[in-house]
Structure 1
């Protein structure tokens, strides 16, 4: 080794390591076992050749002849600290020894100049992901994904990606699911093998059942120990089989770039879960493959309904005196087309809960949310209609679309048409294409439903205000919270809501306006979704131009926030501008309500909580507790103005929902 050409790198000071001790130090990215014994200093490669045990976590041992040895902490292999050679009986190649100098008490280790970075399999695959538009990764770096993590690190350094290190993989999955629901584009989750990967599954199911694109990137044990039952070795392909539309291991002989492209295409085209499994040893294999791109691999998705279906729909509409449009979340990108059709027909528009805000409640044709989380306005028009035009709605039992009515159902997924029961006219096509292609005439004696809408809203708003008198002295009424929140948030707010009574109250009481969006765990209905979804929504506002600057407000009960509370520190770490509204009633209120409704005793739904406002402050964010309705508006306005994570803890009455 030519010492004149070495890079001398400081690894500490002599007072850092007493005589008779060893420690691990890092020079650039080289892990080194530094040792101090009998007044001597030495540096050797830190990885035992047996199973890469960390020699710097071992010990200095003296033989019967007084000679010093460094002993590996894992299996007891010994090495001469000055030569790197073993005493015999082990690997005879020994360990690399690095030149060491002490200059005025500072320890320097000499390394050869760093070679240029060699392109790896994961470099090529991560570049493929970015070419397909994957911009954000939520994850946790760990021992079985370090090669992949380094490829992501380089992409972040080149500003091709953003990375958010979370505290629980479940939060990463929910964040990525919310990102996909909001944008229609996949974000990625990064985990280790075994438990890191399995922690993703709830969020993957949330994305799958709600048709959100998402990528799972999971580490795996080395290929040589896959199968026999190595530490954290589980069959990840089988584990993800039911939840993913694409799940493949990345093997040494794989077409790595093609796998990455197929994963991205599956997530985008099928709006589903795609999963790539990265064995540890494959991640750093050299690769000369050119990164994949979406060019020539995707096409426009507009499916125009058959003209015969458009004609049949027009005929049915012209015969109806009280047509009603019910619109689902899948139609959000064509909301203006839906509103235009409603105006032409003079028809009310009610939405599923997932589509809340698609036609904002301040629109003259808006009828609010239908179903369990809905309003009396929407249920009135459902009862009185003589024709339902269902656009991108999935007919969930929670929505409660009356199957006995005459129904025109429009969906781009043919399997959704008449899925639960026959409809009068199933129409295959994109909702926007249907709205634009439809040219119906109104019934000459059609009812003036728009005037009725205004009257019904007036009745409902008066009833909501009257409910404020229902004060039991046990906390703030949910209506008071959502009435104020709806008034003070921006017109383009993105709401991420959790599961529970807080969600039902949000759906029933908060009136949307402008271009607001609502994200929720729809078909899965998973508690804990709200705050991680806020993280995902905020990340999307950093990536997608049309979302930049939009305020993110997440909402949960104390039960929901308690699922992933430590990821509030994630929001603090990355300066995420998320305002969290927490309804604290000290119990799983929805479950208590269901126990009473089912004539069960209320059992084990009470919660022992900290002060969540104080917790937020301890994490480094903004936190305020509200116990009086008169302080509520100022507290929310203050929190919304915070440039970073803020939490408003509302002490509420569990019975006033």
Structure 2
């Protein structure tokens, strides 16, 4: 080809020593550049054997002094000038490119790039966009490069956004939190083998808490399935229990339909869907158009029967002290539930997963039930004569009395009376139940004034919290001081991700919500959840109008933060507006308490930690350290005001929780 028909692209300074090779990039291509015997040469960087990087290889001389470029992986050789092998590798030659040196720079002559062929993964990524998936958390690697490039193209067009994490477990937790918050799936991307298995804990968190997630895992080439190729494991079996839908993407698949079915399953079933992408299938050509959701998703309202509504009205009208218990499943109907409570003059208690569904400063708020709860909620539970349980599951941590007359409403029939019989199980959407009951409900003529009781009980509990502050022994800040201060400075619309441990119990007990949304690892109870979940919440603030501009706060102990500490660099990289509150007591304090209460010796619960404030600063975030209760509020307010990642390390007493 004539020289004038080439596009001469600079690949850097002419400083490569004699007898050396290196990888260079020219437009979208990666080339192996070599310098030997005063000559320069360039060829495709990928060895045709198994894709080895020739630019990381060596120049070797044969017995006759001829130079060869040797692949670093398996020793295949190529002539630097012609790209031909010395023999024995039929059809294994490399494409070479003309090279010239001018003005101390090396230029490679390239022909115009041919139009990029649309691929299988393009069809799938476009279908993801059509179904409203706006965010992917993940790690790019050798067995998902074709899929990653399809996602890259969607992000370049502004149709999707990507967060590159440091550990795949964080990607799954972030996607789980996103699903819990938004009610729509985010995706998490990994390579085959260990990258895929690292997702499992976060996917189990999503599954048991009914959060929609789409998992996208690379896989080895189809030709080496099974015999034990590098990083080849049976991903179908590995993901079988955790996913409602799990399928390989094969060359013969209907690719858009497969993607649509996976996303629909995640969305409708509120569960995990999983697609497996063999390496060789990802870049196969495809002309199949994206498949949108139109005509594939029906309405979601399940109305309770008239007979059930009539029975519920009768039970409610006969109760002098009814209480409403809201679980996390009632989130979308919370305003209608609160309106019903106001009509009845009934306290609204929440499960811990439901904390924040009703602000604690609302006159009908009764606080959290159970192990992470307040004496307010437990008192009203003991005194009530009817429980109206909405979107809660009666788990053993919840504290709902199984012996009281109970109306239970849930859209999923298997949840009704799951652990024990209830007085009136009602199948239906909680919002539809409230709409049917509210216009017809009547209160008992001799109903107690529970709103006045609530005010009294809150006053008593707040006085008790102040008394507990006097317990500080000079060995660390009391948890009351931390969460009383946080309640004063956290924006009312903040999104708060909490971890697992003593810090979580204290948050449930002492933090008074004012409209904040709380995220947690509910049924799985996985330590390390908070920071990755905060990343997922931050992504929701970027993707979803309802959450735009809201501050994200995460809370953990030192044990939980240590699980995914390096994700703080991810927050820095993407300038995430996250404030992390870290309660540092150098101990797995919850486990120490369990050992003591079970009359076990306290064993192997101590931790050796760095200065987390200094660590945050080294990562590029703001970091501050607090050792006195009086300084907590100012430090938290300063960190929350930072428009980016900030960490407040609070030295706490493990006994004062």
TM-score bracket for the superposition, by shorter chain length: over 0.9
Matched residue SS, 1:340: helix
Distance 1:614 1:475 in 2: 19
Query: Shift of the alpha carbon at 1:441?
Result: 1.1
Question: Which residue in 2 is equivalent to 1:244?
Answer: 243
Distance 1:407 1:436 in 2: 19
Question: Which residue in 1 is equivalent to 2:595?
Answer: 595
Distance 2:424 2:601 in 1: 46
Query: Shift of the alpha carbon at 1:404?
Result: 0.7
TM-score in terms of structure 1 length:
0.99
Distance 1:53 1:165 in 2: 24
Distance 2:468 2:88 in 1: 83
Give runs of aligned pairs for residues 57-456 of structure 1, distance below 5 A: 57-438=56-437, 439-456=440-457
Distance 1:176 1:75 in 2: 39
In the TM superposition, structure 1's runs of 4+ consecutive aligned residues that sit over 4 Å from their partners are none
Matched residue SS, 1:562: helix
Question: Which residue in 2 is equivalent to 1:650?
Answer: 650
Give runs of aligned pairs for residues 524-563 of structure 1, distance below 5 A: 524-563=524-563
Distance 2:117 2:387 in 1: 61
Distance 2:190 2:92 in 1: 35
Matched residue SS, 2:18: coil
Question: Which residue in 1 is equivalent to 2:11?
Answer: 11
Range with greater deviation from structure 2 (17-26 or 451-460): 17-26
Query: Shift of the alpha carbon at 1:261?
Result: 0.2
CA offsets per residue over residues 546-566 of structure 1, 9 Å max, x none? 110111110000000000000
Distance 1:512 1:563 in 2: 27
Query: Shift of the alpha carbon at 1:242?
Result: 0.2
CA offsets per residue over residues 425-469 of structure 1, 9 Å max, x none? 000001111011012211111111111010010111100100011
Query: Shift of the alpha carbon at 1:117?
Result: 2.0
Range with greater deviation from structure 2 (277-286 or 82-91): 82-91
Matched residue SS, 1:171: helix
Question: Which residue in 2 is equivalent to 1:630?
Answer: 630
For the 8 Å contact 1:352–1:399, the answer to whether it is kept is yes
Distance 1:70 1:528 in 2: 47
CA offsets per residue over residues 452-492 of structure 1, 9 Å max, x none? 01001011110010001101211000001100100111111
CA pair 428-48 structure 1, distance change in 2 beyond 3 A: same
CA offsets per residue over residues 469-525 of structure 1, 9 Å max, x none? 101211000001100100111111111000000000000000001x31100000000
Query: Shift of the alpha carbon at 1:335?
Result: 0.9
Query: Shift of the alpha carbon at 1:93?
Result: 5.0
Give runs of aligned pairs for residues 557-636 of structure 1, distance below 5 A: 557-636=557-636
Query: Shift of the alpha carbon at 1:60?
Result: 1.1
Query: Shift of the alpha carbon at 1:89?
Result: 2.0
Range with greater deviation from structure 2 (210-219 or 23-32): 23-32
Give runs of aligned pairs for residues 24-43 of structure 1, distance below 5 A: 24-43=23-42
Query: Shift of the alpha carbon at 1:29?
Result: 2.1
CA offsets per residue over residues 154-176 of structure 1, 9 Å max, x none? 11111000100000001111011
For the 8 Å contact 1:578–1:646, the answer to whether it is kept is yes
For the 8 Å contact 1:388–1:407, the answer to whether it is kept is yes
Q: How many residues align?
A: 655
Query: Shift of the alpha carbon at 1:4?
Result: 2.0
Query: Shift of the alpha carbon at 1:49?
Result: 2.1
RMSD: 0.9
Query: Shift of the alpha carbon at 1:47?
Result: 2.0
Matched residue SS, 2:353: helix
Task: Say if 2:37 is the partner of 1:23.
Answer: no
CA offsets per residue over residues 99-149 of structure 1, 9 Å max, x none? 111112210111110122211111111110011110011000100000111
Matched residue SS, 1:583: strand
CA pair 623-130 structure 1, distance change in 2 beyond 3 A: same
Question: Which residue in 2 is equivalent to 1:48?
Answer: 47
Query: Shift of the alpha carbon at 1:300?
Result: 1.6
Query: Shift of the alpha carbon at 1:94?
Result: 2.0
- Structure 1 segments unaligned to the other structure (5+ residues): none
CA pair 226-591 structure 1, distance change in 2 beyond 3 A: same
Query: Shift of the alpha carbon at 1:91?
Result: 2.5
Query: Shift of the alpha carbon at 1:254?
Result: 0.2
CA pair 297-92 structure 1, distance change in 2 beyond 3 A: closer
Query: Shift of the alpha carbon at 1:92?
Result: 4.9
TM-score in terms of structure 2 length:
0.99
Distance 1:410 1:95 in 2: 67
Distance 2:273 2:85 in 1: 47
Matched residue SS, 1:625: strand
For the 8 Å contact 1:356–1:369, the answer to whether it is kept is yes
Task: Say if 2:496 is the partner of 1:495.
Answer: yes
Distance 1:192 1:361 in 2: 44
Matched residue SS, 2:389: strand
Distance 1:462 1:263 in 2: 52
Question: Which residue in 2 is equivalent to 1:462?
Answer: 463
Query: Shift of the alpha carbon at 1:54?
Result: 1.7
For the 8 Å contact 1:475–1:652, the answer to whether it is kept is yes
For the 8 Å contact 1:86–1:92, the answer to whether it is kept is no
For the 8 Å contact 1:45–1:96, the answer to whether it is kept is yes
Distance 2:2 2:221 in 1: 36
For the 8 Å contact 1:49–1:91, the answer to whether it is kept is no
For the 8 Å contact 2:48–2:92, the answer to whether it is kept is no
Query: Shift of the alpha carbon at 1:629?
Result: 1.4
